[in-house]
């Protein structure tokens, strides 16, 4: 279990408890009291719920599961015990059981967005686990790239920016989702190759962002001083040309698809093939492209560029 | 902190077009067919299913369930410890979960702005390209159950020296073999998952890791114990690079059909240095249909099959051109004859100018010429070349003139830039029998 996981899980528990906490808000160190409450009145689902939450916080997962199961037995119409069971199973690393509980929750309360989103995160995590397993059994460069993509599916920055805006309930739920997706992937072979690909993808993305944002300096900085433009231009002529073209455009949109990175054996050079969709106020074009990048002291820089 | 970097590296991309095993939600015919195949797999009474080992059956069931948009069925059909040790099964489960994640996020709707981005990133991470092994096997099984009778569009005519032909479909990772039976009819005798070059696209250079596209022949076949560890029980080299490759400056060599390294049962679809490879338990039966010098190998992407219409039209056009060339040759009208040649023409060391000089000189010395052609092999190249469409034509040629008599097999490669332009001879050479 990673640091902070319990805290975030607990936040979700608190949130999902919302309709009930007014009745049974547990104070710290009240486990015994909660226990005696359910002993006195075994049919009080609110007591069981409070006990389940307490046990979860104390990481007594089997006990927490028992308590939440009791709640859902007494009140099969409530989705909340299933949500909390999902969190508990998730924390235990039993993702399939977590998904099953969220499915039940959705049966009771269809279309609940936060639950759907959490379910998405758990399936994502399961997918990541299984690709990791497949990669551990055989190395496959293309699969590895899809794996890296899945690892990036949940945009953490966007998640965090939402914290301040969204209603409290939804925040906590998705924080746990992010936790689910960002959970560390299983170790797979050829870690260095993956790292190079990651860095190269990042450089390509910076290039794309600079270009789309018409940030001419950042765009030119993506290219090496050794970059050789085609068509008989010198590097200076090419830079001037790019400055003019990009400076003149009011809008540039560059999207990339099918990005495939082939790092060299040395790890200092990489070839990137991609499908580029370019759209400006003046021109729209799509085509296959190849970039050659080299690792320089200032990072990965484009040394060659051509269409395929 | 680490995750900020990672998130920043997320590339803006279009959602991948649904393809392969992704739920297509397509026509009701597809849905109906998928349901029927799933039932056939569950019943297990057809021979095509009965012969499958249990694990393969579970894999195909999962594949068809994914195709029908039922990822939960796919995940459920793959259970047990073997799944963890089988890279393809693990990947199918991963894809099933990915599709469920897409569904869940889609149901969450516009709950939050950024779920839209999340959804498209999830869709972009489509794993189906890695599942081509399951797809190829599924297609082979479906064709077998349906008794598919369509023939490859590119095979137009086969001469008596062709005993079998191999179709390597790189996009589908599928190898289909046809062999001549006792009655002279070509029948599908093998349909297998095949692993091709790690690089995508046509081979251009030595070391580019790509499988060349084109029409080849197996040169030899050997079982070499020294190679068995790396290449499996049999290796069957092709004749890459051929004349057409050399004309286009392609290089590299050693494109073989071979097996897997020992101890490996599954490999991803694009994983060789340019050869095409089959699992060792399938290779011997497939290689048994390879006859050095008498087996054609067509390599391409998305090879087309056809009931006959398109093939007949293409064949008639080629036959007409070759007949006109024969007549113009016999007529000793050099200008009419030379009109059939392509500006980029090569024959041995001669280009079009050298060939024209040579032919004009030969024709001027003759009173008459008689040319007879028979036993044609005509094969359309599934790939597009710089000159456009290409067709391979081979025949036995009988030539007779007042001062020369000759008989032998000849190969022409014809090209045309588009379907309305005439075919022109790009390469001409005599070939050994």
Query: Tens digit of pLDDT for each residue in A183-235?
Result: 332 222 233 566 787 788 888 988 988 898 888 888 999 999 989 887 778 88
CA–CA distance, B155 with B128 (Å, rounded to integer)? 30
pLDDT in tens, chain B (433 residues): 222 222 222 222 222 333 334 443 445 678 888 888 888 888 888 888 888 888 999 999 999 999 888 999 999 999 888 988 899 999 999 999 999 988 888 877 655 555 667 787 888 888 888 899 999 999 898 888 887 778 899 999 999 999 999 999 999 999 999 999 999 999 999 999 999 999 999 999 999 999 999 999 999 999 999 999 999 999 999 999 999 999 999 999 999 999 999 989 999 999 999 999 999 999 999 999 999 999 999 999 999 988 778 899 999 999 999 999 999 999 999 999 999 999 999 998 999 999 999 999 999 999 999 999 999 999 999 999 999 999 999 999 999 999 899 999 999 999 999 999 999 999 999 987 5
Nearest to A130 among B12, B91, B109 (CB): B91
HSE, side-chain direction, 13 A CA sphere, residue B382:
25
Complex ipTM more than 0.85, yes or no: no
Cβ-defined contact of B198 to A141 (cutoff 8 Å) = yes
CA–CA distance, B245 with B252 (Å, rounded to integer)? 10
Q: Chain A residues with CB inside 8 Å of B13's CB?
A: 255-257, 259
pLDDT band at A38 (very low <50, low <70, confident <90, very high): very high
Nearest to A201 among B3, B9, B87 (CB): B9
pLDDT greater at residue B183 or residue A137: B183
Residue A94 phi/psi, 5° resolution?
A: -95, 85
Residue of A nearest to B127 (CA): A146
Residue in A141, A154, A162 to test binding to B, most B beta-carbons within 10 Å: A154
Peptide bond before B317: cis, by omega within 30 degrees of 0? no
Distances (CA, A) of A199 to A162, A196, A210, A219: 27, 5, 16, 17
* Exposed / middle / buried, residue B432 (Cβ in 10 Å: 0-12, 13-18, 19+): exposed
- Tokens (6 digits) for B114: 């950024």
pLDDT band at A45 (very low <50, low <70, confident <90, very high): very high
Residue A21 phi/psi, 5° resolution?
A: -60, -30
CA B152 to chain centre: 10
Q: Check residue B27 and give its pLDDT.
A: 55
Residue recorded with tokens 């990651």: A198
Q: Chain A residues with CB inside 8 Å of B81's CB?
A: none
3 state SS for B25-71? CCCHHHHHHHHHHHHHHHHCCCHHHHCCCHHHHHHHHHHHHHHCCCH
Beta bridge partners of B347: B350
Cβ-defined contact of A149 to B121 (cutoff 8 Å) = yes
Q: Chain A residues with CB inside 8 Å of B199's CB?
A: 262
| 3-state SS class at B168 | strand
Cβ-defined contact of B121 to A120 (cutoff 8 Å) = no
Q: Chain A residues with CB inside 8 Å of B87's CB?
A: 133-135, 137-138
Q: How far is B138 from chain A (nearest CA, A)?
A: 20
- Tokens (6 digits) for A156: 């953490």
Nearest to A149 among B105, B125, B200 (CB): B125
CB neighbours of residue A84 within 10 Å: 27
Answer yes or no: are the C-beta atoms of A52 and A68 closer than 8 Å: yes
Q: At what angle do helices A80-92 and A95-108 cross, to 10 degrees?
A: 170
- Tokens (6 digits) for A242: 């790019």
Distances (CA, A) of A105 to A100, A206, B265: 9, 41, 41
Cβ-defined contact of B6 to A156 (cutoff 8 Å) = yes
Residue of A nearest to B88 (CA): A134
Beta bridge partners of B427: B346, B413
CA–CA distance, A143 with A132 (Å, rounded to integer)? 10
* Exposed / middle / buried, residue B414 (Cβ in 10 Å: 0-12, 13-18, 19+): buried
- Tokens (6 digits) for B400: 């007779």
Please give the share of chain A, as a percent, with pLDDT higher than 70. Answer: 77
**Residue partners of B402: CB distance under 8 A and separation at least 6:** B366, B367, B368
Q: Chain A residues with CB inside 8 Å of B129's CB?
A: 142, 146
Among left, alpha and beta (phi > 0; psi -120 to 50; other), residue B332 is left
Answer yes or no: are the C-beta atoms of B108 and A113 closer than 8 Å: yes
Q: How far is B261 from chain A (nearest CA, A)?
A: 12
Cβ-defined contact of A158 to B7 (cutoff 8 Å) = yes
**Which DSSP string do the residues of A100-154 spell out, in sequence order?**
HHHHHHHHHSTT-HHHHHHHHHHHHHHHHHHHHHHHHHS--HHHHHHHHHHHTSS
Q: Check residue A4 and give its pLDDT.
A: 31
**Residue partners of B373: CB distance under 8 A and separation at least 6:** B322, B326, B395, B396, B397, B398
CA–CA distance, B116 with B110 (Å, rounded to integer)? 7
Size of interface A-B (CB pairs under 8 A): 175
Q: What is the C-alpha R_g of chain A?
A: 26
Residue recorded with tokens 């099969």: A76
Residue in B17, B103, B122, B125 to test binding to A, most A beta-carbons within 10 Å: B125
Residue in B16, B117, B127 to test binding to A, most A beta-carbons within 10 Å: B127
Cβ-defined contact of A208 to B84 (cutoff 8 Å) = no
Query: DSSP class of residue B387?
Result: T
Q: Chain B residues with CB inside 8 Å of A156's CB?
A: 3-4, 6-7
Q: Chain B residues with CB inside 8 Å of A128's CB?
A: 94
CA–CA distance, B292 with B237 (Å, rounded to integer)? 9
CA B69 to chain centre: 28
Q: Chain B residues with CB inside 8 Å of A273's CB?
A: 200
Q: Chain A residues with CB inside 8 Å of B122's CB?
A: 120, 124, 150, 153
- Tokens (6 digits) for B213: 């596209």
CB neighbours of residue B87 within 10 Å: 26
What pTM was estimated for this model as a whole?
Answer: 0.70
Beta bridge partners of B397: B373, B408
Q: How far is B280 from chain A (nearest CA, A)?
A: 17
pLDDT band at A91 (very low <50, low <70, confident <90, very high): confident
């Amino acid at each position: 279990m990673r640091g902070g996981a319990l805290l975030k899980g607990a936040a979700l528990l608190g949130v999902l408890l919302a309709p009930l906490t007014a009745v049974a808000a547990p104070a710290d160190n009240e486990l015994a009291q909660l226990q005696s409450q359910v002993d006195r009145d075994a049919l009080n689902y609110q007591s069981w719920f409070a006990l389940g939450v307490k046990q979860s916080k104390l990481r007594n997962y089997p006990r927490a599961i028992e308590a939440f199961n009791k709640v859902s037995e007494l009140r099969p119409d409530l989705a909340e015990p299933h949500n909390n069971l999902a969190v508990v199973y998730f924390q235990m690393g039993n993702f399939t059981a977590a998904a099953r509980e969220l499915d039940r929750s959705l049966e009771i309360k269809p279309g609940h967005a936060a639950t759907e989103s959490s379910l998405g995160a758990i399936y994502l995590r399961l997918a990541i686990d299984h690709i990791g397993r497949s990669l551990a059994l055989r190395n496959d460069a293309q699969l590895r790239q899809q794996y890296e993509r899945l690892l990036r599916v949940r945009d953490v920055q966007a998640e965090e920016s939402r914290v301040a805006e969204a209603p409290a309930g939804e925040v906590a739920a998705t924080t746990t989702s992010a936790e689910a997706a960002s959970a560390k992937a299983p170790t797979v072979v050829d870690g260095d190759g993956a790292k190079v690909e990651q860095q190269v993808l990042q450089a390509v993305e910076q290039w794309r962002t600079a270009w789309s944002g018409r940030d001419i300096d950042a765009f030119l900085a993506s290219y090496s001083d050794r970059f050789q433009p085609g068509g008989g231009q010198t590097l200076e002529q090419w830079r001037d040309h790019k400055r003019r073209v990009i400076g003149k455009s009011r809008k540039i949109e560059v999207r990339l698809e099918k990005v495939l990175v082939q790092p060299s054996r040395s790890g200092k050079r990489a070839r990137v093939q991609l499908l580029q969709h370019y759209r400006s106020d003046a021109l729209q074009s799509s085509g296959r492209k190849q970039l050659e990048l080299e690792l320089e002291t200032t990072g990965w820089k484009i040394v060659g560029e051509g269409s395929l | 902190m680490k995750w900020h970097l990672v998130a920043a590296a997320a590339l803006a991309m279009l959602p991948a077009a649904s393809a392969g095993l992704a739920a297509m939600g397509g026509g009701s015919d597809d849905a109906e067919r998928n349901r029927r195949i799933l039932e056939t797999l569950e019943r297990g009474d057809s021979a095509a299913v009965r012969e499958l080992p249990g694990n393969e059956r579970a894999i195909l069931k999962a594949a068809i369930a994914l195709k029908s948009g039922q990822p939960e069925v796919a995940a459920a059909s793959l259970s047990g410890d073997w799944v963890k040790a089988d890279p393809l099964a693990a990947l199918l489960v991963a894809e099933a979960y990915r599709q469920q994640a897409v569904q869940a996020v889609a149901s969450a709707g516009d709950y939050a702005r950024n779920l839209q981005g999340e959804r498209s990133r999830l869709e972009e991470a489509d794993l189906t390209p890695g599942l081509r092994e399951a797809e190829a096997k599924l297609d082979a099984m479906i064709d077998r159950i349906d008794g598919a009778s369509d023939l490859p569009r590119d095979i137009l005519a086969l001469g008596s020296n062709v005993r079998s032909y191999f179709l390597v479909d790189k996009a589908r990772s599928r190898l289909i073999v046809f062999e001549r039976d006792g009655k002279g009819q070509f029948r599908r005798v093998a349909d297998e998952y095949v692993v091709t070059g790690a690089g995508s696209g046509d081979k251009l250079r030595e070391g580019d890791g790509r499988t060349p596209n084109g029409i080849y022949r197996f040169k030899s076949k050997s079982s070499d114990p020294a190679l068995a560890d790396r290449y499996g029980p049999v290796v069957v080299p092709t004749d890459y690079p051929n004349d057409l490759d050399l004309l286009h400056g392609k290089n590299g060599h050693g494109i073989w059909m071979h097996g897997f390294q020992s101890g490996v049962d599954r490999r991803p679809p694009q994983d060789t240095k340019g050869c095409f490879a089959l699992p060792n338990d399938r290779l011997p039966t497939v290689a048994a249909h390879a006859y050095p010098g008498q087996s054609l190998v067509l390599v391409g992407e998305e090879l087309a099959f056809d009931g006959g219409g398109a093939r007949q039209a293409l064949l008639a056009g080629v036959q007409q051109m070759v007949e006109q060339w024969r007549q113009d040759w016999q007529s000793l009208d050099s200008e009419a004859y030379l009109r059939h040649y392509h500006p980029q023409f090569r024959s041995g060391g001669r280009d079009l100018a050298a060939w024209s000089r040579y032919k004009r000189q030969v024709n001027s010395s003759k009173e008459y010429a008689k040319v007879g052609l028979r036993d044609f092999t005509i094969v359309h190249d599934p790939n597009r070349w710089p000159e456009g469409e290409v067709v391979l034509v081979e025949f036995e040629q009988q030539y007779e003139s007042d001062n020369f008599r000759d008989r032998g097999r000849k190969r022409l490669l014809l090209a045309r830039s588009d379907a309305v332009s005439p075919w022109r001879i790009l390469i001409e050479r005599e070939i050994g029998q």
